[in-house]
């Protein structure tokens, strides 16, 4: 449908029908006769009894293909203008084939693999009739107390940009020049706009209070990258930003998102966020909430009655508000057109359901999930090269995650535990059953703490065995083994949305188990399942090896076993810093320097920016991750040491695998601007290269620093570079710097 036809379609709609296109409901509004609907879902949501559900624009979280066909068919039969429904769903990191959670994916530093994972999810969604997924989430996060760390790409702006771009291209396809979404692809929705990942004290839905400089410098670039990759939708955030709720923030959504970032797609509210403008104390009533949201450019009201009940009165007699309504409806119609729904409201689904096979959970898809899981795992500790294990080693697999299939994370809404490879199953592919004993050893979490999980408490199995019985069985198994593999972690329901924690550590029953086993004098390999960096400071002293598994997805148990037994050499690098204690939070590598930095040469000098009761460095820094092999870096060439406009500093280094295992190394390049018109971070990641090296192999790795890498937001928020001296650090993490040098940037117009 061309643009003129689309505008004709828009102009043919009544005000009531236009408003309907901005409403998102769930499928139960279309079930049964209208009398049932009026007394059921319409009444529950607060929609007026006169609301015509057959004007509705989109449906939330219906993923059954037969039901989608039935709903679309019924809708088209009963609607006047035959504008197809959009079906949207929370498919964040996999449909049925579940990949590692996003924070884990970011630890792979493999963005081709991340793009492929997103393309797998998109294809499975396409085959099930989903049109839009609410992914990627690209909120920068520096506080592991926040529950939604699991959905984030971590603390770094470069990684967030790359993650955003990769996921959007995987979901929508690589032809950014075309507005059409091809077959096997769906529409991506980047979220949450903006700065949702920086709530005060890490508390879910809390206010965000930050400078405009920090917002532009660190938080906005991830969203911008998704938009540049063609993301069709943006979702508003729940939080206030400097006192203004994001969903009603006209400056944020119109000035920044629409004008500066050139976003012309659909802006959708998060779940009930328009209604929550009242709870924020920003809108005095529903009519005010509708007005403020439309003024702010919000096109779709997700799951409230605000637009449906209030917009008609809000726009009555107001030419400007009517124009805004027409703009919003046009964007929704254009999205439907880009998805090809006017030509085929089912996007091929009627033919797909007749096919004898599908790609869902196919061998190729599970292979992709396995590969990304293997690269997402981070080896944090490996004393005396305990890992990899020998298949002849007698192992006691102990812990709540030993046989747990619930390792998909909270947002794998279509993932099935029965499809998941658990750790025990994975280990049995490498070790003889006679060399493996398995037991739980402890409860997942204290029974009394379950009440804090709300409705999710019922999802945890009832505890029917006494804790002391579990512990004694674990001690017996451990005493008969050569090595203990201890599978611990937070429950998936302690993480995710609404899962903020004041003290993100391993649950108390598991800490007790770990302590008792550490007294036996056995070698211990700790596997940590979590949706965030946990505080492992005391734990690390009691074990010989630590493997950060995150929530690794459908193939997680096999991936972990491949690493434990050396079939795969771990290569993950942290995308988020692990603090030593809660008191360090928020902690991140690219902090600003202070007038009194904590320099090593100052020792215990009191009047420096430091804590006096704790080591000031994090437990495990950003970019950190060990390998079963060792790598050596050497600088070959650097040219030139003075850079002018349109020039670059070109670097060639030699990287050698000096160990006995083949492996992958991620070489990281950081830059520090030594002097500028605003304070600059102590270092910033600007580039990286992940290379595979066989044992004994050497490769040449090249980097090129250009002017764009030196730009930042100045005092007036202008994005620019400045002349000056820059330090360059190359290493295997943000703290493990192996090469360093300096260069001068002297633009030609400043050069004399």
**What is the spatial distance between Cα 338 and Cα 310, in angstroms, rounded to a whole number?**
29
123 vs 133: CA distance, rounded Å: 12
Is pLDDT at 413 greater than 80 in this prediction?
A: yes
User: How many secondary structure helices (H) and strands (E) does the chain include?
Assistant: 22, 26
* Average pLDDT rounded to a whole number, residues 680-706: 98
Q: Kindly report the pTM of this predicted structure.
A: 0.97
**What mean pLDDT do residues 143-159 have?**
98
What pLDDT score does 189 carry?
98
Tell me whether residue 139 is one of the annotated catalytic residues.
Answer: no
Helix, strand, or coil here: 17? helix
Phi, psi of 671 (to 5 degrees): -125, 140
Cα distance between residue 726 and residue 508, in whole Å: 47
Q: What is the DSSP letter of 85?
A: P
Report DSSP state, residue 194: T
pLDDT, tens digit, 9 for 90 and up, residues 340-389: 999 999 999 999 999 999 999 999 999 999 999 999 999 999 999 999 99
Structure tokens at 373: 């899981």
pLDDT-based confidence at residue 752 (cuts at 50, 70, 90): very low
Q: Which pLDDT belongs to residue 62? A: 94
Residue partners of 170: CB distance under 8 A and separation at least 6: 114, 115, 116, 117, 118, 119, 120, 121, 122
Instruction: Tell me which H or E stretch contains 743.
Output: strand 737-745
Per-residue pLDDT band at 35 (split at 50, 70, 90): low
Structural contact between residues 400 and 513, judged by C-beta atoms closer than 8 angstroms: no
Helix or strand (DSSP H, E) at 643: strand 642-643
The DSSP symbol for 626 reads B
476: CB partners within 8 A, 6+ apart: none
Tokens of 388: 């990899």
Query: Residue 301 forms beta bridges with which residues?
Result: 23
Least Cα distance to 746 among 643, 662, 610, 670 occurs for: 643
DSSP state of 449: G
Lowest mean pLDDT among 129-133, 422-426, 587-591, 596-600: 596-600
What is the pLDDT, as a whole number, of residue 176?
Answer: 85
Q: How far is CA 146 from CA 243, 316, 399, 402, in A?
A: 20, 42, 25, 26
Over the stretch 303-327, which tens digit does the pLDDT of each residue have?
Answer: 999 999 999 999 999 999 999 999 9
Average pLDDT, whole number, for the chain?
95
Respond yes or no on whether the N-terminal peptide bond of residue 336 is cis (omega within 30° of 0): no
> Mean pLDDT, to the nearest integer, of 690-698?
98
Concatenating the DSSP letter of every residue in 378-435 gives EEEEEGGG-PSPPTTS-EEEESTTSS----S-TT-TT--GGG---HHHHHTTTS-GGG
Which carries the bigger pLDDT value, residue 748 or residue 192? 192
User: 241 and 208 in contact (C-beta within 8 Å)?
Assistant: yes
d(CA 652, CA 636) in angstroms, rounded, equals 5
Residue 7: is its pLDDT beyond 80?
yes
Which residues neighbour 73 within 8 Å (Cβ) at sequence distance 6 or greater? Answer: none
Q: Are 394 and 481 in contact (CB under 8 A)?
A: yes
pLDDT for the residue numbered 751: 42
> How many whole angstroms separate alpha carbon 348 and alpha carbon 184?
10
Give the length of the chain: 752
What pLDDT is attached to residue 37?
A: 56
Structure tokens at 484: 């203990």
Residue 36: which pLDDT band, with cuts at 50, 70 and 90? low
Confidence class for position 33, pLDDT limits 50, 70, 90:
low
Is the CB of residue 475 less than 8 Å from the CB of residue 517? yes
Give the position of tokens 């990942």: 197
Q: Give the distance, in angstroms, between the CA of residue 146 and the centroid of all CA atoms in the same chain.
A: 13
Query: Would you state the torsion angle of the CA atoms of residues 474, 475, 479, 482, taken in this order, to the nearest 10 degrees?
Result: 40
Could you give the percent of the chain with pLDDT greater than 70? 98
Q: Three-class SS string for 682-734?
A: CCEEEEEEEEEECCCCEEEEEEEECHHHHCEECCCCCEECCCEEEEEEEECCC
For residue 673, what is the enclosing H or E element?
A: strand 663-673
How would residue 155 be classed by pLDDT, with cut points 50, 70 and 90? very high
DSSP structure class, residue 499: -
Say which residue, 598 or 115, is predicted with more confidence: 115
Q: In this model, does residue 65 exceed pLDDT 70?
A: yes
Q: How far is CA 399 from each of CA 226, 493, 564, 653, rounded to the nearest angstrom?
A: 40, 17, 16, 44
Give which of 690, 703, 693, 684 is closest to 637, Cα–Cα: 703
What confidence tens digit (pLDDT) does each residue in 441-483 have? 999 999 999 999 998 998 888 899 999 999 999 999 999 999 9
pLDDT at 337 over 70: yes
Q: Active-site residue among 90, 143, 156, 270?
A: 270
């Amino acid at each position: 449908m061309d643009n003129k036809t689309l505008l004709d379609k828009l102009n043919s709609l009544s005000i009531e029908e236009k408003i309907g296109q901005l409403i998102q409901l769930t499928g139960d509004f279309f079930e049964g006769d209208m009398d049932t609907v009026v007394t059921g879902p319409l009444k529950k949501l607060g929609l007026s009894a006169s609301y015509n559900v057959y004007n509705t624009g989109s449906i939330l979280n219906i993923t059954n293909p037969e039901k989608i066909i039935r709903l679309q068919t019924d809708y088209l039969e009963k609607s006047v203008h035959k504008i197809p429904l959009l079906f949207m769903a929370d498919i964040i990191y996999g449909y049925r084939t579940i990949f590692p959670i996003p924070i884990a994916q970011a630890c792979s530093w493999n963005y081709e693999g991340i793009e492929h994972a997103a393309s797998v999810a998109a294809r499975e969604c396409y085959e099930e009739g989903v049109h839009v997924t609410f992914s990627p989430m690209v909120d920068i996060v520096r506080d592991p107390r926040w529950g939604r760390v699991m959905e984030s790409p971590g603390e770094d702006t470069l990684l967030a940009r790359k993650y955003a771009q990769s996921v959007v291209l995987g979901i929508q396809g690589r032809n950014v020049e075309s507005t059409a979404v091809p077959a096997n692809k769906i529409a991506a929705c980047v979220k949450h706009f903006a700065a949702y990942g920086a709530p005060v004290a890490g508390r879910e839905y809390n206010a965000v209070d930050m400078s405009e400089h920090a917002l532009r410098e660190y938080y906005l670039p991830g969203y911008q990258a998704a938009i540049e990759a063609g993301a069709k939708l943006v979702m508003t955030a729940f939080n206030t930003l400097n006192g203004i709720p994001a969903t009603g923030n006209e400056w944020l959504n119109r000035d920044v998102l629409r004008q500066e970032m050139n976003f012309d797609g659909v802006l959708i509210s998060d779940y009930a966020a328009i209604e929550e403008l009242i709870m924020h104390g920003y809108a005095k009533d529903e009519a005010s909430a509708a007005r403020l949201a439309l003024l702010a450019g919000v096109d779709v009201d997700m799951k409230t009655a605000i637009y449906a009940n209030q917009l008609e009165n809000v726009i009555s007699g107001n030419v400007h508000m009517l124009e805004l309504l027409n703009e919003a409806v046009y964007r929704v119609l254009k999205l439907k057109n880009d998805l090809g729904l006017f030509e085929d409201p089912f996007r091929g689904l009627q033919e797909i359901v007749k096919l004898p096979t599908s790609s869902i959970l196919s061998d190729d898809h599970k292979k992709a999930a396995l590969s990304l899981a293997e690269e997402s795992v981070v080896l944090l500790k490996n004393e005396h090269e305990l890992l990899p294990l020998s298949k002849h080693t007698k192992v006691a697999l102990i812990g709540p995650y030993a046989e747990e299939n619930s390792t998909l994370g909270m947002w794998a809404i279509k993932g099935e535990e029965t499809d998941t490879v658990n750790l025990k199953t994975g280990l049995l592919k490498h070790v003889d059953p006679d060399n493996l004993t398995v037991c739980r050893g402890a409860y997942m979490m204290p029974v009394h703490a379950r009440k804090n999980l709300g409705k999710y408490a019922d999802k945890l199995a009832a505890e029917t065995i006494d804790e002391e019985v579990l512990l004694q069985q674990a001690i017996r198994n451990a005493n008969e083994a050569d090595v203990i593999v201890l599978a611990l972690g937070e429950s998936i329901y302690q993480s995710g949305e609404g899962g903020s924690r004041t003290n993100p550590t391993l649950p108390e029953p598991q800490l007790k188990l770990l302590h008792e086993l550490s007294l036996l004098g056995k070698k211990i390999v700790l596997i940590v399942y979590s949706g965030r960096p946990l505080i492992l400071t005391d734990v690390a002293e009691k074990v010989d090896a630590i493997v950060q598994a995150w929530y690794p997805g459908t193939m997680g148990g096999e991936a972990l076993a491949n690493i434990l037994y050396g079939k795969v050499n771990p290569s993950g690098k942290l995308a988020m810093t692990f603090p030593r204690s809660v008191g360090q939070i928020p902690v991140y590598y690219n902090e600003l320097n202070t007038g009194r930095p904590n320099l090593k040469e100052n020792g215990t000098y009191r009047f420096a920016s430091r804590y006096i009761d704790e080591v000031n460095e994090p437990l495990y820094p950003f970019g950190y991750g060990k390998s079963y092999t060792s790598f050596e870096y050497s600088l070959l060439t650097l040219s030139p040491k003075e850079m002018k406009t349109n020039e670059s500093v070109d670097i060639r280094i030699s990287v050698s695998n000096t160990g006995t295992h083949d492996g992958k190394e991620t070489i990281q390049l950081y830059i520090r601007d030594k002097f500028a018109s605003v304070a600059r971070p102590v270092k910033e990641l600007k580039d990286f290269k992940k290379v595979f090296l066989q044992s004994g192999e050497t490769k040449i790795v090249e980097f090129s620093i250009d002017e764009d890498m030196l730009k930042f937001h100045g005092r007036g928020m202008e994005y620019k570079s400045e002349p000056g001296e820059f330090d360059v650090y190359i290493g295997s993490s943000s703290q493990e710097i192996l090469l360093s040098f300096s260069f001068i940037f002297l633009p030609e117009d400043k050069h004399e």
